[in-house]
Amino acid sequence: MVQVQQELERYRTDALYFEQHRQELLQHYPEQWIAVYGQQVVATAKRLPQLIRKLDRLGVPRGQVFIERVSATEDLLILPTP
């Protein structure tokens, strides 16, 4: 249970990091998908499938990384369930 709490807290701080650095990230990675893990950008890509492949190659756990598309516009993304 402690490990789950730690992972949830890390994910929350990664999401907060993204929000606090959104403008900076937008300047560096416009219209790209960003993966944040441990308050660091660990991968970027123009398309989500490319980002997932990069994370897999890096060994970053998909279920624990914060992923968001940085854009000047607000987009609503609805992903299909398997």
In this prediction, residue 6 carries a pLDDT of: 85
Strand order across the 66-70 sheet = 41-45, 32-36, 66-70
What would the 3-class secondary structure string for 17-64 be?
Answer: HHHHCHHHHHHHCCCEEEEECCCCEEEEECCHHHHHHHHHHHCCCHHH
In this prediction, residue 78 carries a pLDDT of: 64
Which pLDDT tens digits describe the chain residue by residue (82 residues)?
A: 778 888 888 899 999 999 999 999 999 999 999 999 999 999 999 999 999 999 999 999 888 899 999 988 766 666 677 6
Q: Which of 46, 41, 37 is CA-nearest to residue 21?
A: 41
Q: Which of 26, 27, 11 is CA-nearest to residue 66?
A: 11
Give me 24's structure tokens: 């900076």
In this prediction, residue 62 carries a pLDDT of: 85
